[in-house]
Amino acid sequence: MKNYFSSDFKLGILGGGQLGKMLLYETRKYDIATSVVDPNPEAPAKLAANQFQIGDLQDYETVLQFGRKVDVLTFEIESVNLEALQQLEKEGKKVYPSAETLLKIQDKGIQKQFYAEHQLPTANFRLFTSKAELTEAIIRKEVDFPFVWKACKGGYDGKGVSVIKKQEDLIPLPETACMREDLIPFKNELAVIVARNVSGEIKTYPVVEMEFHPTANQVEYVLSPARISAEVEQKARKVAMRVSEAFQHVGLLAVELFQTENDEILINEVAPRPHNSGHFSIEASYTNQFEQHLRAILDLPLGETQQKLAAVMVNLVGDADHTGNVHYQNIEEIMQMPGVTPHIYGKRETRPFRKMGHVSIVHQDINEARKIAEQVKKKIKVISKK
Amino acid sequence: MKNYFSSDFKLGILGGGQLGKMLLYETRKYDIATSVVDPNPEAPAKLAANQFQIGDLQDYETVLQFGRKVDVLTFEIESVNLEALQQLEKEGKKVYPSAETLLKIQDKGIQKQFYAEHQLPTANFRLFTSKAELTEAIIRKEVDFPFVWKACKGGYDGKGVSVIKKQEDLIPLPETACMREDLIPFKNELAVIVARNVSGEIKTYPVVEMEFHPTANQVEYVLSPARISAEVEQKARKVAMRVSEAFQHVGLLAVELFQTENDEILINEVAPRPHNSGHFSIEASYTNQFEQHLRAILDLPLGETQQKLAAVMVNLVGDADHTGNVHYQNIEEIMQMPGVTPHIYGKRETRPFRKMGHVSIVHQDINEARKIAEQVKKKIKVISKK
């Protein structure tokens, strides 16, 4: 019999960033004991864990020894040592999401091939083992411009992705394994969070719409629900659910999608964990994404995914011109606006475009929430103190 | 200029029970540094505080030394050393709520006199310095039966209150200072949480309705909003606001009220802190009571108090027949019900009627929420493990 609450059970979390921190709100609510490991001695998730240790998440021995001391192991970041997870599974440890899923997601080339094998809709692509191989294909005129270049490994927050219009655009790119992908003319970038528990119970959250910053290639607003037709909503949720089922995923899977100009739904990429596009759920959903992740990996019944209210999420990123001890300018002004909740991740130092927090705006009407979000965005600045 | 977020500012909290624990969710969300002191080395609020120390809250030196190390001092329990708070205020420390307010609330006799002096509506009463004095008044036929006996100090969760129908009912009562109060025939027991910040901004939460257990004299269900007329709602909020203003209160004030048979509103008693009757706000309100308390004592703008959805709160108390390591029987069954969120306070040991947690139920319709709450109540049991 499962007994997680106020018991000797221990959940291990690889990574102590803001996702880990927000996951800990839920382990505290349920009084589930946790251990966290992160390389940063001042990691945001240091404080509310029962144990916290400093360690390199890419190091085989660190992850192995950490995993052996807990009952269930999860992660809040994909770049962790995969071989250690595989070894832990061999030893009978419960690792959710599984090493197998992570293997298929860590490398975007393998991820794309997985979609192709499972007839999951995604943009056409071709893989290259190196930049040299890609250049050769271009010279042989096997590759048309423009296209999207993606590094197979290590991409994050817009890094590792470029639109290539002519051969010279390749010059600044690294020498790594990569792919070319069709440049899809799309109406919207959407995302769906899918929760699937150990027993296979599955639920999707409403489709969200991601508005990107015109130049910084970072998400500026996440709107939930997305301003799309019921038909597109259904199609997107169905595709996302098929992806989770194909992976036999356990935990949360954030599925990023393109809505094409003729309303096709194509998979862009996935993240096997709570996701920035689900932060709105803390204030707006019956069950927030962090509680849902816990429920899924502990094989508890999944919670309702419907919303109490419409919501917009705004990322709080460091101002482009500031580095140093953080100061949240005008935070009191935004706290006066109705339905506005700031989340401060707890990073002492701001840097240009560093994710320092986010702000949730809830309202009965998504268009009103969007207006307030714009006021929030204009008002608050993440700067350094003098 | 105020700078609380990811800064060197430190909030001190006297008491580390479940109220302190839930307050810490909000200090984490805002990244406000905290120190907590509590006599229990396994206090629920031990974990997410930046510092935690073991100490006696009634001890002058402990409270004084603790208070000197923080920038703002608050409490989650009323039974703390008052003289230390007075000394800290003399030294210029910000103590919210103030020592002056606490002085008037700690002693129910002083509290009642305060209402009388400020023409605030409350049941008629008479104070006695001892049980002997009360007995004497009864012998002189100055006191009619039945009446409500209340101890001036130390009452909690139904302790310190008795309905006295005849002289023999006095026998089990302690020898302490006490009062007799008119026994009010009432329709409803209501409560209103009032938030008032340092600058005097004031907001009330919707009126909640408390349904008591027929025998245990503990609140069984809290319904928000209360099933009362708009007129009674307005009257109750107005009385509650007048109480907060009269105290010049800073922080949350939970005002418990009687709705009499002819729809008068009488003050029963108050608590100068987040309160059991406000737990529903975590899931149901734009701003939950713990965040609101923080905003008030840090002189930040108060948040919206309206609700996203109707809500019922059920207390999880230890089963009458169980003592020992806690087990939450059937918790998975209630987690399957829509809109149901359990909160586990993190007490390892259950005892008869000990408050171990609570469950929130949210729904569009308060009557549906009430039905689900009854199913929750019937299903979950707080027992000890074999």
Domain of A132? 124-181
- Tell me, yes or no, whether B350 and B268 share the same domain: yes
Instruction: For residue B367, give the amino acid letter.
Output: N
Asked if the structure places residue B313 within a domain, the reply is yes
The CA dihedral of B380, B384, B385, B386, to the nearest 10 degrees, is -120
CA of B226 to nearest chain A CA: how many angstroms apart?
Answer: 20
Q: How confident is the model at residue B156, as a pLDDT?
A: 62
pLDDT over 70 at B11, yes or no = yes
- Cβ of B335 within 8 Å of Cβ of A301? The answer is yes
CB atoms within 10 A of CB B54: 14
Residues of B in contact with A6 (CB under 8 A): 326, 328, 344, 346-348
B303, with CB counted inside 10 A (0-12, 13-18, 19+), is buried
Question: Number of residue pairs across A and B with CB atoms under 8 Å?
Answer: 98
CA of B73 to nearest chain A CA: how many angstroms apart?
Answer: 21
Q: How confident is the model at residue A328, as a pLDDT?
A: 97
For residue B360, the chain A residue with the least C-alpha distance is: A286
- Cβ of A5 within 8 Å of Cβ of B343? The answer is no
Q: Which strand (E) or helix (H) includes residue A373?
A: helix A366-379
Instruction: State the best of A31, A340, A380 to mutate against chain B, taking most chain B CBs within 10 Å.
Output: A31
CA of B384 to nearest chain A CA: how many angstroms apart?
Answer: 12
Please say whether the beta carbons of A286 and B338 come within 8 A.
Answer: yes
- Cβ of B346 within 8 Å of Cβ of A309? The answer is no
Indicate which CATH number applies to the domain containing B29: 3.40.50.20
3-state secondary structure of A10: strand
- Tell me, yes or no, whether A43 and A162 share the same domain: no
Indicate which CATH number applies to the domain containing B293: 3.30.470.20
**Cβ under 8 Å to A: B residues 268-287:** 286-287
pLDDT over 70 at B270, yes or no = yes
Q: Using CB atoms, which residue from B6, B47, B304 is nearest to A346?
A: B6
Binding residues of A: 108, 150, 181-184, 189, 268-269
Q: Show pLDDT as tens, one digit a residue, over chain A (386 residues).
A: 578 999 999 999 999 999 999 999 999 999 999 999 999 999 999 999 999 999 999 999 999 999 999 999 999 999 999 999 999 999 999 999 999 999 999 999 999 999 999 999 999 999 999 999 999 999 999 999 999 999 998 766 567 899 999 999 999 999 999 999 999 999 999 999 999 999 999 999 999 999 988 777 778 999 999 999 999 999 999 999 999 999 999 999 999 999 999 999 999 999 999 999 999 999 999 999 999 999 999 999 999 999 999 999 999 999 999 999 999 999 999 999 999 999 999 999 999 999 999 999 999 999 999 999 999 999 999 999 86
Cα–Cα distance between B93 and B73 in angstroms, integer?
Answer: 8
- Tell me, yes or no, whether A71 and A201 share the same domain: no
- Cβ of B5 within 8 Å of Cβ of A328? The answer is yes
Closest CA to A44 of A345, A383, A352, A328: A345
Residues of B in contact with A376 (CB under 8 A): none
- Cβ of B6 within 8 Å of Cβ of A338? The answer is no
What distances in angstroms separate CA B37 from CA A136, A188, B47, B49, B51, one per listed residue?
68, 51, 12, 10, 9
Residues of B in contact with A339 (CB under 8 A): 286, 304
Asked if the structure places residue A355 within a domain, the reply is yes
Asked if the structure places residue B54 within a domain, the reply is yes
Asked if the structure places residue A107 within a domain, the reply is no
Q: How confident is the model at residue A140, as a pLDDT?
A: 94
- Tell me, yes or no, whether A361 and A229 share the same domain: yes
A139 touches chain B (CB under 8 A): no
Domain final residue, candidates A95, A113, A136: A95
Please say whether the beta carbons of B266 and B73 come within 8 A.
Answer: no
Asked if the structure places residue B1 within a domain, the reply is no
Instruction: State the best of B8, B18, B29, B359 to mutate against chain A, taking most chain A CBs within 10 Å.
Output: B29
- Residue scoring higher pLDDT (B156 or B142): B142
ipTM exceeds 0.90, yes or no: yes
- Tell me, yes or no, whether B168 and B281 share the same domain: no
**Cβ under 8 Å to B: A residues 336-365:** 336, 338-339, 341-348, 362
pLDDT tens-digit map of B295-339: 999 999 999 999 999 999 999 999 999 999 999 999 999 999 999
- Cβ of B286 within 8 Å of Cβ of A25? The answer is no
Residues of B in contact with A23 (CB under 8 A): none
For residue A33, the chain B residue with the least C-alpha distance is: B346
- Tell me, yes or no, whether A144 and A209 share the same domain: no
Residues of B in contact with A48 (CB under 8 A): 24, 28, 47-48
- Tell me, yes or no, whether B171 and B242 share the same domain: no
Q: Tally the domains of chain B.
A: 3
- Tell me, yes or no, whether A172 and A191 share the same domain: no
Please, which pLDDT band fits residue B227 given cuts at 50, 70 and 90?
very high
CB atoms within 10 A of CB B289: 27
- Tell me, yes or no, whether A342 and A210 share the same domain: yes
pLDDT tens-digit map of B114-146: 999 999 999 999 999 999 999 999 999 999 999
A265 touches chain B (CB under 8 A): no
Domain final residue, candidates A181, A206, A223: A181
Q: How confident is the model at residue A155, as a pLDDT?
A: 66
- Pairing between strand A349-350 and A381-384? unpaired
Q: Using CB atoms, which residue from A30, A304, A344 is nearest to B339?
A: A304
Residues of A in contact with B343 (CB under 8 A): 29
SS3 labels along chain B: CCCCCCCCCEEEEECCCHHHHHHHHHHHHCCCEEEEEECCCCCHHHCCCCEEEECCCCCHHHHHHHHHCCCEEEECCCCCCHHHHHHHHHCCCEECCCHHHHHHHHCHHHHHHHHHHCCCCECCEEEECCHHHHHHHHHCCCCCCCEEEEECCCCECCECEEEECCHHHHCCCCCCCEEEECCCCEEEEEEEEEEECCCCCEEECCCEEEEECCCCCCEEEEEECCCCCHHHHHHHHHHHHHHHHHHCCCEEEEEEEEEECCCCEEEEEEECCCCHHHCCHHHHECCCHHHHHHHHHCCCCCCCCCECCEEEEEEEECCCCCCEEEEEECHHHHHCCCCEEEEECCCCEECCCCEEEEEEEEECCHHHHHHHHHHHHHHCEEEECC
- Cβ of B29 within 8 Å of Cβ of A343? The answer is yes
- Tell me, yes or no, whether A91 and A77 share the same domain: yes
- Tell me, yes or no, whether B274 and B290 share the same domain: yes
pLDDT over 90 at B212, yes or no = no
Q: How confident is the model at residue B214, as a pLDDT?
A: 79
Asked if the structure places residue A309 within a domain, the reply is yes
B300 touches chain A (CB under 8 A): yes
Q: Using CB atoms, which residue from B6, B336, B346 is nearest to A348?
A: B6
Q: Using CB atoms, which residue from A3, A47, A300 is nearest to B48?
A: A47
- Tell me, yes or no, whether B43 and B74 share the same domain: yes
Q: Using CB atoms, which residue from B286, B301, B348 is nearest to A6?
A: B348
Domain final residue, candidates B116, B146, B181: B181
pLDDT over 70 at B224, yes or no = yes
A31 touches chain B (CB under 8 A): yes
Please, which pLDDT band fits residue B217 given cuts at 50, 70 and 90?
confident
* Average pLDDT value for chain B: 95
Q: Using CB atoms, which residue from A6, A286, A342 is nearest to B362?
A: A286
Asked if the structure places residue B310 within a domain, the reply is yes
Asked if the structure places residue A241 within a domain, the reply is yes
- Cβ of A332 within 8 Å of Cβ of B5? The answer is no
